[in-house]
Structure 1
Amino acid sequence: MKPKTKLQMEIVNGSRKLAPVSEAQKRYAYKHCFVHYFKRDAKGNCFCLDCGHTWRDKEDKKNCKCPHCGMNLKLENSRKRTAVYKEYFCVITTYKQYQVIRFFMVDCRLKKGSPANYFIIEAVQCWMNKEGKTETLSLLRGMSIFYYDAWIYGSSLELRKRNVHHDRIYDICPAVIYPRMKVIPELTRNGFKGAFYDICPSSFFMTLLTDNRMEILYKAGQMNLFLRFLERKYGIDKYWTYVKICLRHDYVIHDAVLWLDYVDMLIENKLDARNPHYLCPLNVEEAHDWVM
């Protein structure tokens, strides 16, 4: 897709100026994206699948450390001589006033008796301005009904359309996020402190930048409610009046699913759902059983 707006042109030009993945980032991805294995045969010969080193150890260990490369290894019991693993690695950085989330596909190929062969390529870039306006650049994908991430490695990063059907393709939950990250000042202002709680970084950032109610929940430490409404965004409109009462009384909701069901039953039984006596019980399970 050709860039048409001023925002798209700035993003495409900025993408070309981003630094390639560094050697330090590659080493971090190779080390932390995968579980590292070793094999043992019946004679006690051990084979490190990371560096290819072979040594003898007749003890029946499930975990060990390679005497050559020092990698912590886990026993792999299958008889397969080769294996291929793929994971996503994420680098979070900035370019001028834009937040940039870069997703890399990391390919690991293992063969008994040989060093592991790693390969890394940038598959998706998510660009976001301070208002939460998002544009996505990615590689081309192969047509498949089973896999969303069948990236064509020979293609180049280009602007792609985003809609309801494509969000699940580009909203990637990476296996590892590089710990050295840069964020725009607006995210720091809105409470971001470095933790993603196993949420896709692009969805997490866009939520903090575009929804002030979710920002309030995040800053108030109502993480259970935050995660629930992030999963089902339509629910926040229905329950926001009752959530505000809890916030005014410093009531922390630890089980969002149970508490929301409890509120529904208060309304259904025509009890005063806006009364903190009912809305902020000391024991939600007992209050839920009582209303039921």
Structure 2
Amino acid sequence: MKPTNKLQRRVLDLSLNYTLPINQIQKDWAYQNCLEHKGYANKTNAFCLDCGETFSHDLIYRKRAVCPNCSTRLKIENTNYRTHKQHTFFAIAEIVEEFQVIKNYELKSYHKKGEKVRYFLQPILEYWIQPNLKYTMVGLCHNLQGYCDSWGGDWSIRKERGYYHNKYEVYPRLYYPKSNFKKEYLKYGINHNLKHLTFIEAVKIAPKVPKVETLLKAKQYSLANKGNSYQLESYWPSIKICLRNKYKVKNASDWIDYIELLKYFNKDLRNAKYVCPKNLKKEHDRLVKKKRVIQEREKLERKRKKVSEAQKRYKELKSMFFGLKFSDGEIVVKVLETVQEFMEEGDVLKHCLFTNEYYNKKDSLVLSARIEEKPIETIEISLSKMKVVQSRGLNNKATEYNNRIVKLIKKNLKTIKSIKESNYTNELLAS
């Protein structure tokens, strides 16, 4: 859109004429650090996805290798594929006059056996943040219509509107290490290491929530993403044990699920032996299995009664969403309508959907992604924030369909929001 006031005209002029374009050093850093470096191996040979050259199996050790042609350290995958494509975002921070500027870039790479990797890189969006934390966005248009998810058009002022109010939220994989941040942000631990949070989210939460500031300074970005969540407050003593032992929580959702399991088994939540496991996934899965065994030992009649009572409460909380279903042609996503379905999905995908009683979570809407009626991933949506909290498949791992599923959910968030708002209006009229 065209700038409509003095501030927007000034920001657009500064963006077009007074900011530095990305240079070759920054591009090389992005190519090296923002993308995965892989090699594909089959029964006869292996090849590097960076240079495309073939090398011997003898150079592979524990699914790792160093390419003898370009000296790149590779992670090896066993497959017959000959091509690969990657897509990610990164950012560079600058200070221009009184503005803190966050410049976001889109990076794609195209790999093929026998050919050197090809890159596509373009600037897509800039946040121009004033000292009062109000910001102006300048960039390309983000097209999310139909099956399209692309950036294009003229470099202009952008605004979030309607159901796509979060269409201009960009989560960079990394920030350029030599980015410039204002001192007032650096003192809160907001710097080039920032992950799992957008810069806007971080600068709005950190000054108001001291615990988030502490987590940012400790580089516990996944936990900091919980912001004002009750979980952050509830498990703060356990989080302090992690900080004291310099234990990095890489996935806050998995770690909190694990802590809730420890709580179920009456373990000491202030003991580093339990709170800081060396292999979080292994311990998480062990406790899920142990809890499931305990539940299976219960008498069948008692279990039926529990399911019956839980179903009544679940129906009261989420019945307005029953029947909701959408598809991209192959993948069908539907709302789980019974507690029995929660149990069956948890058993099939071997995760804690039922054991941690997700059907009792008032703020969560749980959906199942399926192909030919077979569950492939379970999705949790926050009804207050209207965003995807997690989408997990077998053993809590993301499947090859994860990006498609998340994209499909995001495109239909407006439908979920309209159902929620309609129900709220009906409740007001009834009262």
C-alpha displacement at 1:93, in angstroms? 1.4
Cα distance in 1 for residues equivalent to 2:239 and 2:162: 29
Q: Give the secondary structure class of the aligned counterpart of 1:170.
A: coil
Asked if the contact 2:101–2:129 (Cα under 8 Å) also holds between the matched residues in 1, the reply is: yes
Cα distance in 1 for residues equivalent to 2:189 and 2:90: 24
Query: Is the counterpart of residue 228 in structure 1 residue 237 in structure 2?
Result: no
Q: Give the aligned partner of residue 97 of structure 1.
A: 98
Q: Give the aligned partner of residue 184 of structure 1.
A: 182
Query: Is the counterpart of residue 151 in structure 1 residue 146 in structure 2?
Result: no
Q: Give the aligned partner of residue 265 of structure 1.
A: none
Counterpart residue identity of residue 229, structure 1: G
C-alpha displacement at 1:145, in angstroms? 4.1
Q: Give the aligned partner of residue 351 of structure 2.
A: none
C-alpha displacement at 1:229, in angstroms? 3.0
Structure 1, residues 182-237: CA drift from partner, whole Å, max 9, x if none? Answer: 112332355545542421223213434xxx422x444455988854335x5xx7xx
Structure 1, residues 49-86: CA drift from partner, whole Å, max 9, x if none? Answer: 10122333446542100112111112232222222211
Q: Give the aligned partner of residue 72 of structure 1.
A: 73
Going from structure 1 to structure 2, the CA distance change for 1:77 and 1:2 (only over 3 Å counts) comes to same
Matches within 5 A, 1:49-198: 49-58=49-58, 61=61, 62-146=63-147, 149-152=149-152, 155-163=153-161, 165-190=163-188, 192=190, 194-198=192-196
- Structure richer in helix, relative to its length: 2
Using structure 2 for the length normalisation, give the TM-score.
0.49
Find 2:197's aligned residue among 196, 199, 204.
199
Asked if the contact 2:59–2:65 (Cα under 8 Å) also holds between the matched residues in 1, the reply is: no
C-alpha displacement at 1:151, in angstroms? 1.4
Matches within 5 A, 1:249-260: 253-254=237-238
Cα distance in 1 for residues equivalent to 2:26 and 2:214: 34
Asked if the contact 1:97–1:184 (Cα under 8 Å) also holds between the matched residues in 2, the reply is: no
C-alpha displacement at 1:94, in angstroms? 1.4
Q: Give the aligned partner of residue 418 of structure 2.
A: none
Query: Sequence identity of aligned pairs in percent?
Result: 24
Asked if the contact 1:87–1:174 (Cα under 8 Å) also holds between the matched residues in 2, the reply is: yes
Counterpart residue identity of residue 120, structure 2: F
Q: Give the secondary structure class of the aligned counterpart of 2:227.
A: helix
Using structure 1 for the length normalisation, give the TM-score.
0.70
Structure 1, residues 266-285: CA drift from partner, whole Å, max 9, x if none? Answer: xxxxxxxxxxxxxxx979xx
Gaps of 5+ in 2: 241-255, 261-268, 272-431
Q: Give the aligned partner of residue 12 of structure 1.
A: 12
Counterpart residue identity of residue 15, structure 2: S
Going from structure 1 to structure 2, the CA distance change for 1:114 and 1:101 (only over 3 Å counts) comes to same
Q: Give the secondary structure class of the aligned counterpart of 1:169.
A: coil
Gaps of 5+ in 1: 244-250, 262-280, 284-292
Q: Give the aligned partner of residue 46 of structure 2.
A: 46
Greater shift in the superposed pair: 104-113 or 59-68: 59-68
Q: Give the aligned partner of residue 288 of structure 1.
A: none
Cα distance in 2 for residues equivalent to 1:39 and 1:218: 41
Cα distance in 1 for residues equivalent to 2:133 and 2:126: 15
Going from structure 1 to structure 2, the CA distance change for 1:72 and 1:105 (only over 3 Å counts) comes to same
Aligned residue-pair number? 241
Counterpart residue identity of residue 213, structure 1: K
Greater shift in the superposed pair: 107-116 or 88-97: 88-97
Asked if the contact 1:89–1:175 (Cα under 8 Å) also holds between the matched residues in 2, the reply is: yes
Q: Give the aligned partner of residue 213 of structure 1.
A: 208
Q: Give the aligned partner of residue 278 of structure 1.
A: none
